[in-house]
Structure formats: structure tokens, C-alpha cells
Structure 1
């Protein structure tokens, strides 16, 4: 039996592209990859947002490289990946984090809004993965982590487009595994539960009905934190997960394992 070594979790010398990682979950995951030794590259949709991200990484003591790019623009993504390869290095790790949500009841949602959510949350992930895969194949190894969701498994009112996209992303994850696993490329997903972020702050006020609903529904009896996602991200980005492929790791405090507390 081969002796296990903790350096299987190390990412020294690796280049990690985390899309949309200016703040929140993406920034937290990128920070954990940097702590494990990876060089961090991120993108956002405009100069102002990229500058905001660069300032946040600098404040955190992390050297990062930022690029302006819309993940739904295939020629733009292809050009960005080539530029990253030239300026930073071949991408070893892709974290498909960029995404949007529009909470609109289905009967009130336009097809245009629906398509936009699908485009950013699913088609964009396909476009970026497609752009990095050729160099991963040539190098003989690569890691792709798609940020899925509990909505990859569950539906809820007002999120028909988001759930459709995340369900599709779960299956894209499995298909990338099936198609490229023979090239020593692992594609897995992380499915966050309800996470403490600035966006969820108004819902987490003590006594708010939704806050009570989430705490009662979650066996861990709390909201998740970005820190809860960092260990799983490092694991899936590292050689410690080389025989884990096509898997969605739900980091949800047990919500998907439970029907909730008895009234």
C-alpha cells in the first residue's frame, strides 16, 4: 500500500482560474486555493469590478491576476484563456463560480430573463470549461469544479430558471467526467447550502421567518459560512481527489438528507 502524504492537498505551482471571484463564495474559494499554494486568476465583467477584486486580494495578502471577461462571450473567453496561459501559466484548476439569480415567479418571468440565467449559469460554464480543456488534455491532468447548488436537486418557488441551470450544470459536470476522465481530468461540483453572505444578510435577522425556516430545516441548525466551502474546494482541486470524478459534493449542513423537523 502506498503511504499517504499530506502534500497531496498542496497546490504549489498550480494556476487556478476562479470565475467571478470578486467577493462572496468565489473570493472565499480562491482565498483557500491561494492558502494551499495556487496562483489565483479571476475575471469579472468590467474594469471597475476587476479593480474591486484586485484590491480585495491585495488587502488579504494574496497575489491575484484579474481579467475583464464575460463568461457568456465564447471568443472573449478563448482570448482570456490564451492571455492567462501567456502571462501566468496553463490553467490547472478551473472553478466555474460566476452566476446570477433572478427570483421571479415562473408565470411572471419572461423568456428573456429565463434565457439570461441559463446563459450565465450553464452556458457560460460550458464555454469556460471548453476553453481550458485542450491545455489540460495536453498537460495530462486538470481539475474542474462547478459551483452547483441544492437547486441542482430541489425546486423552490421563484427560482425556475436558476434551478433549471443548476440541474443542467450537475449533468454537465457528469458529462465532462465521462468524456475527459481518460485524460486524467477530474470534474466535480460543489453544491452549497444556505451560506452567510452579504446578499443573505437581510434574511438572517433573528426572528425573520426565512431565517427560522432555514435553521429549522438544516440538521446543523445554522447557516453555512464561506469557510465551510473552503476545505471541500481545496480537496477537489488537489491530487487528494484524483479518483473522485463526476461527483457533486453538497455542503449544506444536511438539508438534502432531511425532510425537516416535526412540527
Structure 2
């Protein structure tokens, strides 16, 4: 299937490694011109080199997506290099804290800034040009905990902010639909990334297979591969997904037990 992404301009935050990188790679391999962001300039440069070595037209812009000025710089660099942004992928990680008592009031404020405001900043930066052209894609990389909270271990910062972001995406999807712009979230489960290693360590588990198969935590009994998420994101970025908006799409191998 031709996803018709050739020549499209995509920005992907948190893309120097892991899931963000896999999405940037998938978009790039479909012909999109990709600008990626990360707070680590060294890792970012390495990611750009890898993308280019694999035939992807890419550029990196270091920055913190929770800082509006950095987001503006990121999007402006994409405009200056390739043109107006067609596809914007927001991907950031919440602070790593386990248990309510471990999370200070300041932690909750910081988590809101990191998780919610980063999405808002990016959306505001790209939506006007999308409206002018009558087409665009907003894709948020969320977590399955937006549908079924992490309770073992308890991750309050992630649970609260992920749910809020899903609500934001649903809200703006309704407003943007008349302009040919879709907005969707991907409710991601356990994937083989550095983040997953931290999560397992908090549970006293060092082996992905052990976690996946224990009491069938994951129905397919394995962790996801980043390229599987990349493929789904690429489809949502394509013209074939015009009729999908305002959704929170689980991709968790059956880990969530929630019906809806």
C-alpha cells in the first residue's frame, strides 16, 4: 500500500532513540522529510546519521519540548528546511516516580508542563499552516495507562497526565476536523526500549519474557517491537486514515484488560 507520504514534512519529538526514532524512520522510509528533536544533541546527531544512512531525508534540532521557545525553534527549522509541517508527532516521557508519596506537588506541576504543555505548544505551532492547506496530522504517543491506569507499580504522574492529554487530543480533533486535520493518540503498551528496562527494574524484574508471560500480563506474550509502532503511526499519518480522528488506539499486545 502506498501511504502517499512522499514529500510530506514531518516533525517528531523525542526521536533520538526508542519509539520516537522508530516513528521517524517509518515516516522517512515512506518518503516523508523528517525533522526530529531531542534534549541530547549528541544522541540526536547519531540518530540523524542513522536515518540518513538508511535513505531518510532528515534533520535534527536539539530542544526541550516543554519549553515553548524550543518548540517554536523546532517547527521553524522544519519550515525553513523543508516547508510547512504536514505531520506532527508529540512524544515525551513523564518523570519516573513510583507511588503518590514519592511525588511532590512540584512533581505534579512539572509533569503537567512536560506532558500536557509540550503537546499544546507543538499543536499551536503547526495548526495554523495546516488549516491554510486544508490537511494535517497530529499524532500523540500516549500510553495504555490513559485507558487503564498503572497501579502495579503505581505511577501517578503518568496516569494523571496521560489521561489529560488523551482528553485534549479528543477535544481538538473535533475542532480541527472541518479543516481536514486529524488528531489521534496511540495508547502504547510494553515495548523493548530503555523506558521499559526502568519499568521492569521498579518491579524487580530483569527479563522482558518473564514479565510478558507472568499471569499472561501481555496476551501475545512478548514486548512490542518499536517498528510495529512506527508502522501504525505511518498509517495514521497517511491519507488512508482520513476517516480516523479523535481516537485513542491501543497498541499493547492485549496487555490492557479494559473493554473500551
User: 1:231 aligned to 2:260?
Assistant: no
| Residue number in structure 2 paired with 1:165 | 161
- Computed over aligned residues only, the root mean square deviation of the Cα atoms, in angstroms, reads 2.2
Alignment of 1:13-32 (within 5 A): 13-32=7-26
Deviations 1:92-137 (CA, angstroms, capped at 9, x unpaired): 0011112233132111211222222221111111111111000101
Shift of the 244–186 alpha-carbon distance from structure 1 to 2, 3 Å rule, reads same
Q: Where in structure 2 are there 5+ consecutive unaligned residues?
A: none
Q: 1:149 aligns with which of 131, 143, 146?
A: 143
Do the aligned partners of 1:102 and 1:117 also contact (CA within 8 Å) in 2? no
Q: CA deviation at 1:200?
A: 2.6
CA displacement 1:206-263 (0-9 Å, x = unmatched):
49864543x712221221111221221111000000011101111011222469xxxx
Other structure's SS at 1:255 match:
coil
| CA deviation vs aligned residue, 1:7-40 (integer Å, no higher than 9, x gap) | 3x22001011001100000000111111111111
TM-superposed CA distance for 1:59, in Å, is 4.0
Q: Give the total of aligned pairs.
A: 252
Q: Per the alignment, in what secondary structure is the counterpart of residue 227 of structure 1? A: helix
Spell out, residue by residue over 1:129-154, the C-alpha distance to the aligned partner (whole angstroms, 9 max, x if none): 11100010111100000011111012
Name 1:11's counterpart in structure 2: 5
Question: Which residue in the other structure is 1:179 paired with?
Answer: 175
**CA offset at residue 54 of structure 1?**
2.0
Which residue of structure 1 aligns with residue 46 of structure 2? Answer: 52
Distance 2:183 2:208 in 1: 40
Which residue matches 1:3? none
Name the stretch that deviates more: 119-128 or 202-211. Answer: 202-211
Q: Which moves more between the two structures, 41-50 or 27-36?
A: 41-50
1:23-69, CA deviations, whole angstroms, 9 ceiling, x for partnerless residues? 00000011111111111111122433432322332343423111122
Structure 1 range deviating more: 63-72 or 183-192: 63-72
Alignment correspondent of 2:127: 133
Partner Cα separation in structure 1 for residue 191 and residue 62 of structure 2: 27
Contact 2:38 2:64 in 1 (8 A): yes
| TM-score, normalised with respect to structure 1 | 0.88
Q: CA deviation at 1:75?
A: 2.7
Q: Runs in 1 of length 4+ with deviation above 6 angstroms?
A: none
Which of 63, 68, 79 lines up with 1:69 in the alignment? 63
- Secondary structure of the corresponding residue to residue 27 of structure 2: helix
- Tell me, yes or no, if the aligned pair for 1:141 and 1:185 is still in contact at 8 Å: yes
Match of 1:40 among 34, 41, 44: 34
Q: Does the 8 Å contact 1:192/1:251 carry over to 2?
A: yes
Mind listing any 5+ residue stretches in structure 1 that lack a counterpart? Answer: 1-5
Cα distance per residue 1:154-186 (max 9 Å; x no partner): 222331011111101111110110111111100
Structure 1 counterpart of 2:252? 252
